[in-house]
Amino acid sequence: MTLRRLLSLIRGHRRHIPARPASGSAVATSNSTPPVAISAAAPVMIYDRLAEVVKAKIKRLDDLDPRFLRYASPHPSTADHTDILSAPETRVTTLFNGLRIATESTLASPTATVGVWIDAGSRFETDETNGTAHFLEHMIFKGTADRTVRQLEEEIENMGGHLNAYTSREQTTYYAKVMDKDVPKALEILSDILQNSSFDESRISRERDVILREMEEVGGQAEEVIFDHLHATAFQYTPLGRTILGSAQNIKTITKEHLKNYISTHYTAPRMVISAAGGVKHEEIVEQVKKLFTKLSADSTTAAQLVAREPAYFTGSEVRIIDDDLPLAQFAVGFAGASWTDPDSIALMVMQSMLGSWNKSSGGGKHAGSELVQKIAISEVAESMMAFNTNYKDTGLFGVYAMCKADCVDDLSWAIMHEISKLSYRVSEVDVIRARNQLKSSLQLHLDGTSPVAEDIGRQLLIYGRRIPEAELFARIDAVNPSTIKRVANRFIFDQDVAIAGMGPIQKLPDYNWFRRRTYMLRY
């Protein structure tokens, strides 16, 4: 083939090649595919187009039809707390012996709650006397020098009132809820039982059996048992590690002298607060208390000084009780938390709200604000879960308690530790705002009634020495932001020891080192 012939063939081939379209024009293909815009600078790949379609669908889901957003919004927003500035004033009077009287008057209320909050609980016992504070709570209603048990019960019932008490690790409370006109009588009864209880030996013997039966009932409550074991392992060899009820052996050996010694040592005026809320008048309560509470010791030793002598130390450890007869496995994972007066205690409360709580019987959860609740509800790996944050005078416990089937223990453990550890790395503003709103709402809902208000007053005076106004508390909560959450998580969670308590069919519960390694994430 000559060179001239070859050149002519090349020219003819070029004449049959279709012209190249201009930049940005559409190209029609033979299989009727819709035309695609092509940019000369950056050609668009098919995966890019699919991603844009998905983003558009998500945007339509996020930006809902405004007709549905007239009364509610899926996006949380900060709230205005102007209304809480008009809350009733808490008035406090301190007597010469150190006894404090605090009241919040709501004169329109036909009922009132008056009680005595004492800075003493099971923490201030010894190994030999553990259980005395709770035993005393039972015996305080068993008659005084002037009233028999029958007379005491009849007086309360004739008023239509409600007399109750409870003991915790750091506080003991006796309170009465009555009509406003019966407040003086209720206050007189409280002063009588706290100062003049008789502690009859026959009554003490009879009450031993009552408390032993109560121990059996508490032993059947899984949550109570798990948290007792969690305290025992987290605060081992310290007073906080003991149970409130004490051991069965101690209950059988507690005597009248133990009870009297506990009252004389810990039921002192500086460690007591008389709190009243509802239809009460502060001046009248103060005058009555001056006349009634005259036998209290003025010993100036405070609970904080006693705690300093025997502080609680957190120990990374675990306790496992394998029982295949139980239908469900339950376990709690806890970290050393903050004390009541620690500046970061508020942030831990917000973190507790972020983790949330859920129960399978209540339904829902797949669209909850908490990502941990979402994972558990969607995967169906738990029967219930609950984040907890417990504060004490010098330490605390923060973590998650959960209950699940035996074959879901490992998956549930992974979900819990992943979400807890994530608080140190990735926290969104939306999640924090939602958690703050939930926390503030739960705090206000809890104070619905005279008894919760009186309890809040008494507890805060024992802890802080004053009643924190709601406006101040809400300002502290609103000051928590994503940076605060990550800082506090790095302090209490990141690469920190954990305490684990498990019970039931927990053979698949990962070992301690597995939990310890997942207190942080390896990112490269």
| DSSP E strand boundaries for 337-475 | 357-359, 384-391, 396-404
pLDDT tens, position by position, 194-245: 999 988 888 899 999 999 999 999 888 889 999 999 999 999 999 999 999 9
Place 109 in a pLDDT band, splitting at 50, 70 and 90. confident
Q: Which residue has the higher pLDDT, 84 or 481?
A: 481
- Is residue 166 over pLDDT 90? yes
Cα-based distances in Å from 523 to 12, 415, 422, 425, 490 = 62, 18, 12, 10, 15
As a whole number, mean pLDDT of residues 299-321 equals 93
Q: Are strands 272-278 and 100-105 parallel, antiparallel or unpaired?
A: parallel
Place 17 in a pLDDT band, splitting at 50, 70 and 90. very low
Answer CATH for 317-519 from 3.90.226.10, 2.60.40.60, 3.30.830.10, 3.40.50.720: 3.30.830.10
26 with 36: CB under 8 angstroms? yes
As a whole number, mean pLDDT of residues 171-184 equals 94
As a whole number, mean pLDDT of residues 47-69 equals 66
Cα-based distances in Å from 351 to 200, 334, 357, 358, 372 = 48, 14, 12, 15, 12
207 included as an active-site residue:
yes
Place 23 in a pLDDT band, splitting at 50, 70 and 90. very low
Q: SS in 3 state form for 107-140?
A: CCCCEEEEEEEECCCHHHCCCCCCCHHHHHHHHC
Q: What is the dihedral of CA 237, 239, 243, 247, to 10 degrees?
A: 70
Place 113 in a pLDDT band, splitting at 50, 70 and 90. very high
Single-letter amino acid code for the residue at 129: T
Phi-psi region of 449 (alpha: psi -120 to 50; beta: other; left: phi over 0): left
Share of the chain above pLDDT 70, in %: 85
Tokens 């007189």 identify what position? 188
120 with 270: CB under 8 angstroms? no
Distance CA 175, CA 275 (A): 9
Q: What is the pLDDT at residue 41? A: 47
Same fold for the pair 85-309 and 317-519 = yes
Q: 42, exposed or middle or buried, with CB in 10 Å at 0-12, 13-18, 19+? A: exposed
| DSSP E strand boundaries for 220-359 | 272-278, 317-322, 329-336, 357-359
118 with 262: CB under 8 angstroms? no
As a whole number, mean pLDDT of residues 244-261 equals 92
Which stretch of 57-66, 178-187, 280-289 has the lowest confidence by average pLDDT?
Answer: 57-66
Q: What is the pLDDT at residue 285? A: 95
Q: What is the pLDDT at residue 60? A: 64
- Is residue 19 over pLDDT 50? no
Which stretch of 66-70, 327-331, 364-368 has the lowest confidence by average pLDDT?
Answer: 66-70
- The distance from CA 72 to its chain's CA centroid, rounded to whole angstroms, is 27
Single-letter amino acid code for the residue at 347: A
**Got the DSSP string for 438-465?**
HHHHHHHHHT-SHHHHHHHHHHHHHHHS
From the list 137, 170, 383, 470, the catalytic residue is: 137
Single-letter amino acid code for the residue at 465: G
- Is residue 509 over pLDDT 50? yes
Vertex 288: Cα angle to 192 and 153 (nearest 5) = 35
Distance CA 430, CA 187 (A): 48
Q: What is the pLDDT at residue 64? A: 57
Q: What share of the chain is helix, strand, coil (3-state, %, to 5)?
A: 50, 15, 35
- Is residue 94 over pLDDT 70? yes
Mean pLDDT taken over the chain: 87
Q: What is the pLDDT at residue 59? A: 66
Distance CA 144, CA 152 (A): 9
Q: Which residue has the higher pLDDT, 45 or 133?
A: 133
- Is residue 25 over pLDDT 50? no
Place 521 in a pLDDT band, splitting at 50, 70 and 90. confident
Share of the chain above pLDDT 90, in %: 71
Vertex 411: Cα angle to 407 and 413 (nearest 5) = 110
- Is residue 3 over pLDDT 70? no
pTM of the model: 0.82
Q: Angle 256-266/201-219 helices, nearest 10 degrees?
A: 80
From the list 104, 125, 207, 470, the catalytic residue is: 207
What are the residues whose beta carbons fall under 8 Å from the beta carbon of 299, sequence distance 6 or more?
265, 268, 270
Q: What is the pLDDT at residue 321? A: 95
- Within the chain, what is the greatest distance between any pair of CA atoms? 136
Tokens standing for residue 249? 């052996």
Vertex 178: Cα angle to 158 and 91 (nearest 5) = 150
| DSSP E strand boundaries for 151-283 | 162-167, 172-179, 272-278
Q: Are strands 396-404 and 384-391 parallel, antiparallel or unpaired?
A: antiparallel
Cα-based distances in Å from 196 to 37, 265, 270, 397 = 93, 15, 19, 37
- Is residue 72 over pLDDT 60? no
Give me the phi and psi of 118, to 5 degrees please: -120, 135
CATH topology assigned to domain 85-309: Cytochrome Bc1 Complex; Chain A, domain 1 (3.30.830)
Helix or strand or coil: residue 338? coil
Place 36 in a pLDDT band, splitting at 50, 70 and 90. very low
Place 30 in a pLDDT band, splitting at 50, 70 and 90. very low
Cα-based distances in Å from 300 to 99, 100, 309, 394, 397 = 11, 13, 16, 20, 29
Which stretch of 11-15, 328-332, 480-484 has the lowest confidence by average pLDDT?
Answer: 11-15
Q: Which residue has the higher pLDDT, 217 or 367?
A: 217
Distance CA 211, CA 222 (A): 18
Domain extents for the chain?
Answer: 85-309, 317-519
257 included as an active-site residue:
no
Distance CA 346, CA 476 (A): 7
Q: Which residue has the higher pLDDT, 224 or 363?
A: 224
